[in-house]
Every structure is written in C-alpha cells, then in structure tokens.
Structure 1
Amino acid sequence: MRENFVIELGTEELPPKALKKLAVSFKDGFEAQLKGAELAFEQIEWLAAPRRLALKVTGLEFQQADKVVEKRGPAVAAAFDDQGQPTKAAMGWARGCGIDVADADRIKTDKGEWLLHKANVPGKSLDELLSGFLSAALKQLPIPKPMRWGASDVEFIRPVHTLLALYGDRVVNAEVLGLTSSNVSQGHRFHHRGLVTISSADNYVKELEAAYVMADFTARQESIKTQMVQICEQENATFTADQDLLDEVTALVEWPVALVGTFEDKFLDVPQEALIYTMKDDQKYFPLLDNTGNLLPKFAFISNIESKDPQQVIEGNEKVIRPRLADAEFFYNTDKKQTLESRLTSLESVLFQKQLGTLKEKSERISELAGFIASKISANTEYAKRAGLLSKTDLMTEVVMEFTDIQGVMGKYYALNDGESPVVADALYQQYMPRFAGDTLPESLEACAVALADKFDTLVGIFGIGQFPKGDKDPFALRRAAIGTIRIMVEKELDLDFAEIADFAKTLFGNKLTNENVSKDVVDFMLGRFEAHYRDHGIAVELIRAVEVKRPTSALDFERRLSAVVEFSKLTEASALAAANKRVNNILSKNEQTSFAAVNEQLLNEAAEIELVKQINAIAGLVEAEFNDGNYTNGLTKLAALQQPIDNFFENVMVNAEDEAVRENRYAILGQLQGLFMHTADISVL
C-alpha cells in the first residue's frame, strides 16, 4: 500500500536565521530513516514556517516487506565436542536465536561447514516505526542550545505544541517530545487563532492556506519576490534580492503581505550604505533604489498580517525606522567633525592581538607593506602608504561602531570629507575585498596593494606566533585571507612573489614573532589554498598537485603553469608522456646523482637513443625559450613531439647497460628529459 504522508511539528516561533537549515536537516535525517528501514517512497520535500517544521513524502510504503534473516553460528567443528554434544559456544548462539542446536540448519562453504539459523522477520508498519524515525531525525538537528519549558524535562529548540502525522487521511500513531500524533495543526497566530483540522496529507498545504498559513517555504518566498517586483514597478524602483535577507524574512512570516513606507529626504544626506545597513540588519526592510543604484526615500517591508487598514501598519513601521535613521544621521555628522588622521592615536587603545600589538601598530605595518607592494606593481607608493596608515581609523567612528559591517565603506566617505585623494579614499573602501567567495576585487593598483598588505600582515603575524588554523577553527579568517590574496594576484595579473612579501612583512614585526619558520609556513599555507581555490573551479586534483610539486611562489605563475597542464592533459599524447615521465623519475630516483654531464653523442649506439637525442636537441632550445618567457602551454605542447621517441627508447634500449660510460650517458639523456618535463610541473602525477 502506498499513500502520501505528511509529518509536522508545531512549535513556538523558530529562530528565523536557522529555520531553513533546521528544515533541511530534518528532511535529511527522516529520509535516512526511511531508507534504512527499506520503506520505499517516490519523493520527500521539506516545508517550514515560523511555527512549524514539516515533511511531505510522496508514494510512501506503509509496511516493510517480510524478510528472511540468516544468522551464522560457530563452525560445526567447534560446535560439537568429541562425543557429539553441543559446546557452550553452540548453545549460547542457539539461545540467542531462540532455538535448540538440533534445530539449526547448516551451510557449507569452501572454508568449512557452519551452523545457520534462518529467521522469518515480519515487516513493521509505519505505526510501529514512526516514533523511532522522528526521535532519530530530531536528535540530529543542529540545535546549539536546546531549551526546556514548564515542568517538563523535554528539550527542543523552542516549545512544541502539536504533532501532525497523516498517511493519506488516517493518523499514524507516534509519540515524540511529549506529544501524541493527531490530525491538527496551528493556524495563523492572528488571522486564525487555535487549531486547524487537516483532512488528509494531500490537503495539508491547501487547508493551512485557508487558515492564513503558507507552509511551503519556497512558495512563500516566491510570493514575497513577486510582491516586491510589483511594488518596484509601482514605485519606479529596482529590487535586488539579498538572499540572506530574503531567507530571514521568509522565515519570519506565515502570510506575507508587502507594503511600502517612506522617510524624509533629509536622511539621504547620510551615506546610503549606513541607511541600507540599518534597514536590512536592524529592521529586516528592503531598501528601494532608483535605476542608477541611488537610494530612494522609501522602503518595502513584509507584514505577517493582512490588515483591513494597511496605512496603520505602514505608519507604525515608519515610526520605527525614523529614530534609526536619525541615529545614523547624528553619528555621521558628529564623525565628520574629526579627521581620520586625528583618530590614529585612538587606535593605540585597541588590541589587534595581544602578542602582535595594537591596531595603530598594525596600521603602520600595513602602510609600509602596502608601499613595498605598490613599488612592485607600478602603483603610487605614497597613496598606498597613506591608505594603509588610515585603513583602520574608521573603526573608531560612531557610525562604524553602530553599524560594524560598513567598515571601510565609511572610511571612504570620511576620507573624501577630509580632503584626501580619491585614490586613497577608494583604497580604504576596497581594503577588505574580496570579503567572500565571488565578491568583487579591489579596482585600483593602490587598493590592491593595501588589501594584500592587510591580508599578509595578518597571515605573517598569526603564523609568526604559532597560531595555525585547526579544523574548522580559524578565528582570524586566514583561509579566507589566503584565497583572497590568490584571487587578487591572479585576476588582477599581479606578478608578485608571496615568499618575498612574507619575508618583508616579517621584518616589520620586530621581535614580536616567535616562529622562525614563519615565511616558509605562510608559503606552505598559500600553496595549500591553491588546491581549494582551483577545485572550486572544477579542476582535477591531480592537475593542481602536478604544479604544487614545483612550489611556485607567485600566484600568477601558478595560474599559468596550471593552465598549461590543463591544456597538456587534453592532448592524446598526455597519458603516455605522463607514464614515461613517471618511469624516468623512478629510474633517476634510484641513482644517487642529482646532476648529469652533457650527453656524449659518441657513446650513442642504439637507433632508438640516437633518434631520441636528435629529437630532444631539435626542440630543447625552443621549449626552454617558451618556459623562460612564461609560455608554459606552448612549451608543454611542443614536448608532445617526444612521445614516440621516448616510447621507442624504453622499448628498445637498456638504460642500465654493463658499460659504465654508456650507462651514465643514458642517465644523462633521462636527466635532460626530466629537466624539460619538470620545468612547468610534475607531469608524472597525472
């Protein structure tokens, strides 16, 4: 028998930022239980609203199939003594199976004969299984701090009130969290107070909608987006979906109704980032922008009620947002009375890290390091140093203390207000880029210099005191800093040596660092990040590791080498050449020599080795010229011409010849081959 099935746990309002994660985890856990119990189903989907976690399973089997379970006992030789009486081992096994030893079957294998019991196990119904399924699925939910309520010992993320379990139109028996299953759910807190009786699993969503609850998270979110698009058309505005905000708002409402509020034009004199931040973060509002990206004196918000007098709801929200905007305006005007440079001294009171000193010291290091990097990439050194020095001063402003996520952004506005160069102001804004995967990069070379300096100062400083990231613990976001560094160097085509930058950064710490190997540790860490970075771009691990072996300390050089290896791997000759290269490496690794004399052509006596040396001589100069110019792809492609001569050499020539001079000469040929192939990457790992 197969029917559609719905399970719903009715709760108090669940944490909005965690709702989606909880629902997906509930679905994964319950699905694992179904599969483990071998109950077939067609599809399982999660549903979630502020006061419920639910699952809908399509075409679910009600009963497990009966099974024959075989339980093998001890070997017959060990099951009976010399008199043919059962041993303790045999009797213990039989007792565990609920039979006598005499009733046991036997099974013969190529390893001997064994006692065997075949038990017919009847399948259990959903009524018998559901409580266990639910307990297991709920137990593995990501709930950091469960709570208790009333006089009960039951714990969950929020108090629970109802447990709905419907298989078709019948209630499935279950007990969990002190609740017994039924066919009732909770209606909307205001529009439909009290409980709602659900007639069947198929009608769950429809009958809850009649009670002003959209239980389907995805459908509710689509409704919000549709309403937002309609509002933007009416207001001549644009709507850019912030997915995190959209998810949070969707998790806050059961019956979304989009409305528009306004605020006074005077607040637009405040940098719009500050206004947008307080609308989104504090009030969960959607700011409305014009077609050029400028903030309009309007905002959209999602109400959880369908009011008969929506104007009252709008006015209430306008009253709430106005003081927040007024605070931003006051803080901004107050901050402008003091220059960023004058705030440098206040950074002395803020520790960056106990062993590494204050933010003032960090700013001074960033300034010097940014100037050093700028000199390497033909950027304006003075602008880079100035931006580095002022880079953390906006952290001491009132606006940033109130709205922490816009650090850097406000630095730009204050720098322009102070009369600083626009180049310096932009560098202050862009110093934290990229903030996350896929984020935009700094635009100017000066901004790149400051962003890299900030990241390298943190990497070298934290590694310099021996605080390495471990597992998922990375309090200083060193992995993100390393990935950001790689992206800036590669995508902005900055040919910088991060070993050289790390060495210079090390000198700026004076005697604060305790790790003598800090530069090497930073280089190792950076090389390790290449694999994570390029795997996210779909590049095979072996291709990345082929380049990693060469330990290039320029991200741009790593990129060029990797691109060459990727192209090389597509050639028809690649597999054979990789195998040959591995064979060369294996042979030479058994020889104590690390360098070889030039090939003596007078000692060549086999046709295959004569031809191989001829082909090497024909392309070696061309290949090396390409490599020296950084044209790794062209160089590796030219090496493909050696595939047939190399195969012939290994097939027809004995490398370890008895004549020592001939043997050493053949090693020299292999050494020359290894040098050509290993210049770009270790092709043998492909």
Structure 2
Amino acid sequence: MAANTLLVELGVEELPPNAIDTLSDALAEGLHRGLRDADVAHGEVYAYATPRRLAVRIEALNDKQPDREVEKRGPALAAAFKDGQPTKAAEGFARSCGVGVDQLIHLETDKGTWLGYREQQKGESIAALLPTILQKAIDSLPVPKNMRWGASRVEFSRPVHWLVVLYGNQVIDAEALGLAAGRTTYGHRFHAPEAIELAHADDYLSSLEQAWVLADRQVRRERIREQVLSEAEVQEASAVIDEALLVEVSGLVEWPVALTGSFDERFLEVPAECLISSMKANQKYFHLLDDQGRLKPLFITISNIDSSDPSRVIEGNEKVIRPRLADAVFFYDTDRKRSLASRTAELAGVVFQKQLGTLADKAHRSAAVAAFIAGQIGGEASHARRAAELAKCDLVTEMVLEFPELQGTMGRYYATQDGEPAEVAQAMEEQYLPRFASDAIPQSRTGQALALADRLDTLTGIFGIGARPTGTKDPFALRRAAIGVLNILIKGELGLDLRELLDLAATQHQELPYAEKLVDEVLDYMLDRFRAWGHDEGISTEAYLAVRARPVTRPLDFSRRLRAVQAFTGREEAAALAAANKRVSNILAKQADEVGSAVDASLLQDAAEKSLHDAVNSLRSSVTPLLGEARYQEALDALAGLREPVDAFFDQVMVMTEDQDVRSNRLALLADLRGLFLEVADIAQLQQ
C-alpha cells in the first residue's frame, strides 16, 4: 500500500474564539475515529485552527483498507439439509453469498455446526471511504449554535466558504456543508486575500505562513506569548499572561502583532482589579506590573494586522479603552457613596432559591453557623457574624453587577473603606476560597468560618428541598461546595465534626420538605467526596473503603486515617493481615450470638492462641495512646507485628471447636484482634 498526507480544511467566517479549540479537536477526532473504524492505518494527526478555518492534517495515511477475509454464517447444518438434499434455507443463504450450495463450508462452533462462507474482500480506497468519514465527522461537531446564511438550508456555526480535501497532490471528490472539495484555500483577509492553490497537502502550513496566517494554534499562541513578554521588557515591566485570555486572543487573530498602549494615570486611583477586569473582559488586553507588583498605566493589545503605521492602531485602542476605564471609575465612585451595611436591605430583594428564600435569608442563616464555627476554631465570633451579614452585599454594587468576577474582591475594598475590622474585610474575599480543588483556602479564622458556613447552608438547603445533584446535573455546584468544605477543614487542620456542623446548619432552615434524613444524607454525600479527594492525593480506592467503613465524621481525622492506611498498604505484612481480618470478619458475622464479651485466659489451651492473646493485650497498651493522638500510621506499624501470631493461630488453632465455651472464648479473642484494627480502619476492605 502507498501512503501520503491527508489535508482537510473548512474555510469559515470568524468563529467564536472560545469554541475554536473544541471544534478543531473534535474534527480531528472525528476523522481519526472514522479512519480507525475503517481500519485504515495512518501516522500522526494534527489539528489546526484560526478564526477563519478548521483544518486537520494526517500523515502517512494508507491509500486503501487492507484486504480482509469475511466469514458469514448461515443456517445450522441440521436445518440446511434434509435427506441429503439442501433445504430452502441452505439455497437462500448460498444465493445471498453469490455461490452455489456446494461452495459453502461447515463452521464448527461450541453450539454446533453451521453452514458458512468465506471470501476475500478487497479493501476500499481512501477516495471512496473519505466522503462518508468526513460527513460523519462534520455532523458530530459540537457546534455551540447553528445558523443559516443566504438561501441555503445548510447550517453551521458560521457561514462556510471553501473546502479543501487533498490526499497528497490529489483532490478527493467529496462534498460537505454544500461545498465541493478542492485545493483552493485563502490567506489573511487583509494582507493576502487572494486564492492559494495548494499543490500538495504537505505545503499547507508553509503556504499559509507566506500568506500571513499561522494556522498552528500552539505556534500562534507561543508567538503571542513571546511578543507580549518582549513588549513588557521594552517597558521595563512584567506582563501578566492569563492562560485563558491567551487562548481567547489566539482565537481572534491569524497573524498576531503585539502593540503597547497607555492610559491616564488618574485611573490608577481605582482598585487595580477593576481596571484589569475591564481590560481583559472588554478589550482582551494584557496588563503590566512594575517591579513592586503594582499596575502600570500600560496595556498590550494583539492586533490581527502588521500595520505600516502601528501608532494609529495604538491610538485607536487607547481611544477605546478610555471610556471603559472611565466607567470603572464611575462605578467605584458611585459604590463608595454608600456603605456595605446600607445594602443589606437590598439583599431581601435578591432570590437565592425560591424555596430557600433570599440572599438576606441566607446571610441570616450563615451568620449563626459562622459565629459558632469561629468560636470552635479560635476565631472571633462577632467578626464571623458580621462578615456573614455583609458577605453578599457587594453583589448589588454597580462594580460587581458589571464585573461579576470581582465578587468578594470589591467586598474587601468596600469593607475596608467602611472601617470594618481587618478580618471582616479579608473574609469578604476569602469566602469564595477554595474556588477549585487545588486552590488556596482562607487564611483568616473569620474567612474560614464564613466560607464553611456559606457552603454548609447551601448543601443542607438544596438537599433539604430534594434537589440532590445527579451524575450530569449539579446546578448549585454542590460537589465543589462539599470538596471546598473538606479542603478547608483538612488544609486548615480544623478538627471539627461534620455531623455537628450539618446539624447546626440544617436547623437554621425553617421548613425543609426532606428534613427527616437530611443530615445523614448530606454527611454521606460529603464523605463520599473523599474517594475523589483521595485519588488526587494518590490514595487507593481500597484505602478509602477501609476508612469509609468506620463512623468517622471529622474530615481532618478521616484524611489522617486515609494516609495511614495508604502507607500501611506498602508494608509486606499488609496483604496477610488484610486477608486475616477479612477471614475474622466473615467468621464473626456468622457466629455473632456465640462471641464472648471478654477473653477468659483460663480457657486458652493452645500455645498459638495464648501467644496471640498476649500479643493483642501488649499492643493494646502501646497502641491506645497513639490512637488518642491520631498517630494512626504509627499505630498500624505497631499492629503489623501481629502477622506472625495471627498466622500461627489460623495454622494451629481450630476456632469452631465442639466445646462451646472454648469456641466462644476463641471468637472473643478474634473480636479483640479485629477491634484493634477497627480503631483505625477496616483493613479487611483492602482485600476488595
């Protein structure tokens, strides 16, 4: 078979920048999947995209499928012949195969013998296969919103204007979205608008680059990064390159050119976050910082043209950014005319959830829980209560209404201006931490109390109205809230009891339709999050199940047990002791009525059971203090010493002896053994 490069390019009008990567990867995956299903071998698959094109290049693509032997199975042999003559079933099967009955074969299977037929099937050419593969790939694209254009009935994210399908130097005869495939592509809309005839699929990237188009997304992205850093160096500043902004900007240009503009220093009187949000959200600018980390009155814009007069492009951007920053100044000045506390009444008009009331109701509930938590963790209860009362007030300010991403940040600024205690102001921002699993947690006790109270209120409230998240729907982000609570309690080393906190949070709600089993349900849901949390920490599912089997309701304690069990699994004694615990568990489960309440040393007969009894008693005295100090790994390390006496016991002692008293006493000894391990976790689960 011969092999060559395949190029597919779909020319479109400007695509939504945040959809480009998804569409590009999906097109590449669709083509790859189609070729794989057709059993056509190929090399690397590359996805390219700009605002005006989606393209895929596939190297070393075979020009046809391999020939295959196809086996067909017909009727059972018993039904195929009667009195030595072929039945209608046999004749019909032969006709479907295009042969006579005498050319059929017998197929032996575990269910009997059947008539069959084998033939060599020629592999189809890539030219014959590709039109269908391409159509399926395009049909499966996750287009965010379809549109029609002109009189056409074709639908796509944006109007499409050309289609390239080249296999080496040959055009594949294919159609898609109302377009016939060809070899014509187009360069930059302004710098090189003329048609480009591609001689070969391998010429794609170089031909476009000569036409002022960087089709490779990653190359274009890194070109922008390099240019931004270079511009910043000229300005003796450091550029802040937000990766999400970098991706978005690279989806807006085909030939990036970084230019530096400036704005009036008077705008710096506004908090830097306000200016940065305005520049990023509205204009897609990168901001610059001085050597003290302060915002400089400069910005870097990425132009899509290499202008002969860059100053005019810069001037245009400066003209556009001025009113945007002026708006930020106006919002800030307007907001400062009122205190945060004066806005609490407005929260009564903002619905949190129709069955759970308004943000004012949520603030009232959270205040009680936050004050309690603060008292438990060495914080100031009055600060926590005040922080909860003010926590959502910045949501109704002009600045946050315009820039929602500034929630919490503006609360901190406005609370500081109002003369609120420093921890209260800090908590305004910290209430939203952690935003994701690896994010920082609140550092202040007031912030920790508020962040916990807010999430616990949401969890108990939403579960209480029966809106538990499903595998695909979690509109109130309860998974994130639950993991946030766990992270704060664990990383903050807060030994709080989750059941107690949930009880308190639940009682703040006046009426909940599903209140009866609410706390147990939410507790189970939150502790179940430890499976994913543990996975991120390198902890096995078996270790999680071992700890989950115990009634541990303090997340900090839960995490310490998890780490201890995970470390224990690395010991050579672990497998044997886990198996022994599983065996003991099974024995005790079947003989619950016969298990003695305590071991009677006078009933111990065999040396092996006496040895195990002595070892268990000895270890109990040394392990108990370790358990009291939550030194679980040391406790399990000590219990690992039980392997030899346990092995000897099961090798030499018959537990289920006919003497009922001796049997009961031996069961009590096994219960003692298992009880020692259960003080940490049910290591029998390590046998899962």
- Which residue number corresponds to residue 60 of structure 1? 61
1:111 positional shift: 4.7
- Which residue number corresponds to residue 685 of structure 1? 685
Deviation string 1:433-483 (CA, Å, 9 cap, x unpaired) is 111232221111111111111111101111111110012211111100011
1: distance between equivalents of 2:97 and 2:406?
A: 68
- Which residue number corresponds to residue 432 of structure 1? 432
- Which residue number corresponds to residue 286 of structure 2? 286
1:109 positional shift: 4.5
2: distance between equivalents of 1:291 and 1:513?
A: 57
- Which residue number corresponds to residue 563 of structure 1? 563
* 2:48 counterpart letter in structure 1: L
2: distance between equivalents of 1:91 and 1:486?
A: 70
Partner SS for 1:297: strand
Partner SS for 1:434: coil
- Which residue number corresponds to residue 415 of structure 2? 415
1:344 positional shift: 0.6
Partner SS for 1:362: helix
Query: Do the aligned partners of 1:48 and 1:54 also contact (CA within 8 Å) in 2?
Result: yes
1:51 positional shift: 1.0
* 1:574 counterpart letter in structure 2: A
Are 2:13 and 1:23 aligned?
A: no
Partner SS for 2:34: helix
Partner SS for 1:5: strand
Moved more, 323-332 or 188-197: 188-197
Where do 5+ consecutive residues of structure 2 fail to align?
none
Query: Do the aligned partners of 2:340 and 2:394 also contact (CA within 8 Å) in 1?
Result: yes
1:57 positional shift: 1.1
Partner SS for 1:608: helix
Q: Following superposition of structure 1 onto structure 2, how do residues 215-230 of structure 1 map, counting pairs within 5 Å?
A: 215-230=215-230
Are 2:681 and 1:652 aligned?
A: no
Query: Do the aligned partners of 2:463 and 2:514 also contact (CA within 8 Å) in 1?
Result: no
- Which residue number corresponds to residue 46 of structure 1? 47
Q: Following superposition of structure 1 onto structure 2, how do residues 101-250 of structure 1 map, counting pairs within 5 Å?
A: 101-109=101-109, 111-250=111-250
* 1:301 counterpart letter in structure 2: T
1:252 positional shift: 0.8
- Which residue number corresponds to residue 511 of structure 1? 511
- Which residue number corresponds to residue 390 of structure 1? 390
- Which residue number corresponds to residue 542 of structure 1? 542
Moved more, 384-393 or 503-512: 503-512
Query: Do the aligned partners of 2:19 and 2:144 also contact (CA within 8 Å) in 1?
Result: no
- Which residue number corresponds to residue 527 of structure 1? 527
Moved more, 370-379 or 171-180: 171-180
1: distance between equivalents of 2:3 and 2:159?
A: 33
Q: 1:385 to 1:4 in 2, by over 3 A?
A: same
Query: Do the aligned partners of 1:466 and 1:515 also contact (CA within 8 Å) in 2?
Result: no
1: distance between equivalents of 2:591 and 2:531?
A: 32
- Which residue number corresponds to residue 326 of structure 1? 326
Query: Do the aligned partners of 1:677 and 1:683 also contact (CA within 8 Å) in 2?
Result: yes
* 1:367 counterpart letter in structure 2: A
Aligned length: 685
1:388 positional shift: 0.8
1:298 positional shift: 0.7
1:539 positional shift: 2.0
2: distance between equivalents of 1:3 and 1:85?
A: 53
Partner SS for 1:448: helix
Deviation string 1:101-142 (CA, Å, 9 cap, x unpaired) is 232122335654321111221111111011111112122221
1:31 positional shift: 1.1
* 1:656 counterpart letter in structure 2: M
Partner SS for 2:108: strand
1: distance between equivalents of 2:633 and 2:64?
A: 61
Query: Do the aligned partners of 2:539 and 2:563 also contact (CA within 8 Å) in 1?
Result: no
Query: Do the aligned partners of 1:29 and 1:136 also contact (CA within 8 Å) in 2?
Result: yes
* 1:43 counterpart letter in structure 2: E
- Which residue number corresponds to residue 582 of structure 1? 582
Deviation string 1:192-234 (CA, Å, 9 cap, x unpaired) is 1142211212110000011111100000001000001101111
* 1:364 counterpart letter in structure 2: H
Query: Do the aligned partners of 2:594 and 2:667 also contact (CA within 8 Å) in 1?
Result: no
- Which residue number corresponds to residue 254 of structure 1? 254
Are 2:670 and 1:670 aligned?
A: yes
Are 2:232 and 1:263 aligned?
A: no
Deviation string 1:322-362 (CA, Å, 9 cap, x unpaired) is 11110110010011010111111111111111111111111
- Which residue number corresponds to residue 308 of structure 2? 308
Partner SS for 1:229: helix
* 1:57 counterpart letter in structure 2: I
Moved more, 130-139 or 662-671: 130-139
Query: Do the aligned partners of 2:409 and 2:429 also contact (CA within 8 Å) in 1?
Result: yes
1:505 positional shift: 0.8
- Which residue number corresponds to residue 358 of structure 2? 358
1: distance between equivalents of 2:10 and 2:271?
A: 45
- Which residue number corresponds to residue 610 of structure 2? 610
2: distance between equivalents of 1:528 and 1:109?
A: 47
- Which residue number corresponds to residue 80 of structure 2? 79
* 1:133 counterpart letter in structure 2: I
Where do 5+ consecutive residues of structure 1 fail to align?
none
* 1:331 counterpart letter in structure 2: F
1:152 positional shift: 2.1
Moved more, 618-627 or 317-326: 618-627
- Which residue number corresponds to residue 599 of structure 2? 599
1:513 positional shift: 5.1
1:682 positional shift: 1.3
* 2:287 counterpart letter in structure 1: P
1: distance between equivalents of 2:666 and 2:96?
A: 70
Q: 1:456 to 1:595 in 2, by over 3 A?
A: farther
Are 2:33 and 1:32 aligned?
A: yes
Moved more, 150-159 or 13-22: 150-159
Deviation string 1:118-176 (CA, Å, 9 cap, x unpaired) is 12211111110111111121222212432222222222222211111222222222222
Q: 1:497 to 1:13 in 2, by over 3 A?
A: same
* 2:50 counterpart letter in structure 1: A
- Which residue number corresponds to residue 348 of structure 1? 348
Deviation string 1:520-556 (CA, Å, 9 cap, x unpaired) is 1110110111111221233221111211111421110
1:595 positional shift: 6.6
* 2:676 counterpart letter in structure 1: L
Q: CA RMSD in A?
A: 1.4
Partner SS for 1:349: coil
Moved more, 535-544 or 563-572: 535-544
Query: Do the aligned partners of 1:461 and 1:513 also contact (CA within 8 Å) in 2?
Result: no
Moved more, 591-600 or 5-14: 591-600
Moved more, 101-110 or 482-491: 101-110
- Which residue number corresponds to residue 375 of structure 1? 375
| TM-score scaled by length of structure 1 | 0.98
2: distance between equivalents of 1:278 and 1:328?
A: 7
Deviation string 1:374-408 (CA, Å, 9 cap, x unpaired) is 01101111111111110011111111111111011
Partner SS for 2:424: helix
1: distance between equivalents of 2:524 and 2:88?
A: 60
* 2:76 counterpart letter in structure 1: A
Moved more, 160-169 or 510-519: 510-519
| TM-score scaled by length of structure 2 | 0.97
- Which residue number corresponds to residue 69 of structure 1? 70
1: distance between equivalents of 2:273 and 2:66?
A: 61
Q: 1:176 to 1:237 in 2, by over 3 A?
A: same
Moved more, 529-538 or 651-660: 529-538
Partner SS for 2:547: helix
2: distance between equivalents of 1:197 and 1:535?
A: 52
Partner SS for 1:644: helix
Query: Do the aligned partners of 2:437 and 2:487 also contact (CA within 8 Å) in 1?
Result: no
Identity %: 49
Query: Do the aligned partners of 1:30 and 1:137 also contact (CA within 8 Å) in 2?
Result: yes
Partner SS for 1:344: helix
